[in-house]
Amino acid sequence: MKRKHLSLTAISLFLVSCGGGGGNSGTVTPPPPPPPPPPANVAPVASFTSSETTVQEGDTISFDASASSDADGDTLTYAWTQLTGTSAEITSPSTITTDIILAEVDADEVATFQLSVSDGTDSATAAVDITVENIAVPSPAAGTSRFERIDALELDFEPGNLFEGNTTRSFAGNDDTGSVIVPLRDTNANEILIGEYYIGENKENLIALSGGDLRFASDAKFGQTEIGPLPVFSESEGTITFLLAELAGGANGGDGYLPSTSTLNIASPCSIWEDFSGTYFPSNGVKTSEYIVGTRSGLYRVFVDESTPASGDREILNTRQEVLETSGEFCVIPNKLLILNTQDSSDPQRKPILVALNTDTNDFHLYERVESSSSTQPDSLTAVGVQKLAVGELANLNFVDWSLRRGVDNTIFSTFFVLMKDEATEATHRLAKVSLDPALPASGSVGIDDVRRWTSGNATALASSQTFDTDAEADFNLIIIDPNLPYLRLYPVMNDFCPPSPTCTSDFKFIGEAFFTPTELGVTFATTYEFDEERSLLLSNPRKKRILRYGSDL
């Protein structure tokens, strides 16, 4: 028994020395320990600032979430939402900063906005209360009447400037149908199209794209025209494109504009008006229309020749220009000639005067139109002086707009109204009746006869309830446009007329203080037109993509 035990021990030792019979030598390496668990995610911190916390309805405020953070350095995403209050427009709902366009409200209210930030795992929120104040419509002065909203035309485009009511054209030979021309901005393509707001039977409160496939640069504007081609000018491109309206009997029945165009290159055009009185006929079958063109660096006359065939489409044959001023910013040109009664008692005269405002200096440049002795030649324009506008109460103010009114013989006399303001957010405004000096000095100043004053809002345009068809002896209202106020400011004006003569000039005078009528925020332009002895006021609201129509006693 002992010998068997020893033998087994020897075998056991042998196996150990041989590594267990596996053929390898050395020690066994233990497996590595498992990695430690990842640290827990740290939630981000949401924080943002608001440019203001108490604002008026329609105002725009800015939110900035740059103060938000994440301890782990994770990339954050952002989401802006509104929790309470009348629905506002959040312009960039998923970026680190955004603008908020507050809604119109009927009474003061609090709107709550929230920021949510996420690191992909966890999220955090922060909120702010914004007090939105209603802008009350001031009470109208005693004895004045309001005019009321009739309807609104909703559009797919942003409407631009509405021309005065006599800038219309008839359709298909039908004098009972006309239109007010309005540029329409396609916000998707950032291009301008031609729109026409119809006036007349069966078409009122409709709009058409009358330019077909014609599209223009995003800054394109329309010049005022009566019988000549429609000018469309782009300051950024330095071009004026002239369009011919289709005549009755054309392929579209007289609606719309012909696709053929003519383009004139001219640096930085900013204002253009067709002077109907400058039309002449250089040869058989050719008509020439004259335009006054203001630019950022001078003033020009532009002549456009077009064929007048007995049948078929017209064509633009040629365009050419003549320099009036080689410097100065002439972005304000009236759409009418003024008639100036000279002070020479021995030989009183009525002189037709073109007025252009140099907004660099706030000076009026005056040119007398001298009629040509031949219908085949253009009239001449002769410089007759410069008259300062920024005098008296108007000194140190900026020009906004003006309104030239006509007398009993449809003549535009040398008394008119100008709207000026300073650069404050709540601007100081002056609406003044001014008169040109009839002595026509080489260098002089306008006369300021009457002024209306207010300090609120920031007016952008001046319109009038007087139209071409309005009884010239009737009183009318001047209309102040301010896109930041939900109402119009109106000043009643009396036409103090006399029979037309070289020694008597129709005059105008304010006959009371302002009265007001409610509208909506965002209105930028206005015009009036008359149809069937009823006047309507059109308001353009590009912010809300619509045209508003008001009626009643304007």
Closest CA to 63 of 125, 116, 115: 115
Identify the CATH number of the domain in which residue 80 sits.
2.60.40.10
- Give the 3-state secondary structure of residue 9: helix
How many residues belong to the chain?
Answer: 554
d(CA 100, CA 491): 34
pLDDT in tens, 180-234: 888 899 988 899 988 888 776 656 667 777 777 789 999 999 988 878 898 999 9
Q: What is the pLDDT of residue 456?
A: 86
Q: Do the domain assignments include residue 72?
A: yes
Please give the C-alpha separations between residue 262 and each of 42, 70, 300, in angstroms, as whole numbers. 66, 60, 18
- Give the 3-state secondary structure of residue 66: coil
Which region holds residue 348: left if phi is over 0, alpha if psi is between -120 and 50, else beta?
Answer: beta
Asked whether the beta carbons of 209 and 194 are under 8 A apart, the reply is yes
d(CA 540, CA 525): 5
Letter for the amino acid at 425?
T
Q: Do the domain assignments include residue 81?
A: yes
Q: Residue-wise pLDDT tens for the chain (554 aa)?
A: 444 443 434 334 333 444 444 455 567 888 888 888 888 899 999 999 999 999 999 999 999 999 999 999 999 999 999 999 999 999 999 999 999 999 999 999 999 999 999 999 999 999 999 999 999 988 775 445 567 888 888 999 999 887 654 344 544 444 556 678 888 999 888 999 888 887 766 566 677 777 777 899 999 999 888 788 989 999 999 999 999 877 654 554 555 787 778 999 999 999 999 988 899 999 999 999 999 999 999 999 999 999 988 777 789 999 999 999 999 999 988 777 777 766 554 555 678 889 999 999 999 999 999 999 999 999 999 999 999 999 999 999 999 999 876 654 445 667 889 999 999 989 999 999 998 888 889 999 999 989 999 998 899 999 887 754 445 555 778 999 999 999 999 998 887 666 555 555 557 788 888 888 889 999 998 888 776 667 788 899 999 999 998 886 54
Its domain, for residue 117, covers 49-133
Asked whether the beta carbons of 500 and 408 are under 8 A apart, the reply is yes
Q: What is the pLDDT of residue 9?
A: 40
pLDDT in tens, 233-267: 999 999 999 998 776 545 545 557 877 789 999 99
Write phi, then psi, for 46 (nearest 5 degrees): -95, 130
d(CA 482, CA 478): 13
d(CA 144, CA 512): 9
Structure tokens at 65: 């979430």
Contacts of 39 (CB under 8 A, 6+ apart): none
Q: Do the domain assignments include residue 386?
A: no
Provide the number of structural domains found in the chain.
1
Which region holds residue 26: left if phi is over 0, alpha if psi is between -120 and 50, else beta?
Answer: left
Structure tokens at 66: 């740059």
Q: Do the domain assignments include residue 113?
A: yes
Q: What is the pLDDT of residue 528?
A: 80
Q: Do the domain assignments include residue 203?
A: no
3-state helix, strand, coil split of the chain in percent (to 5) is 5, 50, 45
Count CA within 13 A, CB hemisphere, residue 155.
30
Count CA within 13 A, CB hemisphere, residue 213.
2
Structure tokens at 347: 């030989």
d(CA 456, CA 138): 12
Beta strands 54-56 and 123-133, pairing class: parallel
- Count Cβ atoms within 10 A of the Cβ of residue 448 and give its class: 0-12 exposed, 13-18 middle, 19 or more buried: middle
Strand partners, 79: 116
Q: Do the domain assignments include residue 143?
A: no
Q: Do the domain assignments include residue 96?
A: yes
Contacts of 79 (CB under 8 A, 6+ apart): 93, 94, 115, 116, 117, 118
Q: What is the pLDDT of residue 89?
A: 95
Q: What is the pLDDT of residue 203?
A: 61
Contacts of 392 (CB under 8 A, 6+ apart): 448
Q: Do the domain assignments include residue 82?
A: yes
Order of strands, edge to edge, in the sheet holding 257-265? 221-222, 230-234, 239-245, 257-265
d(CA 291, CA 299): 11
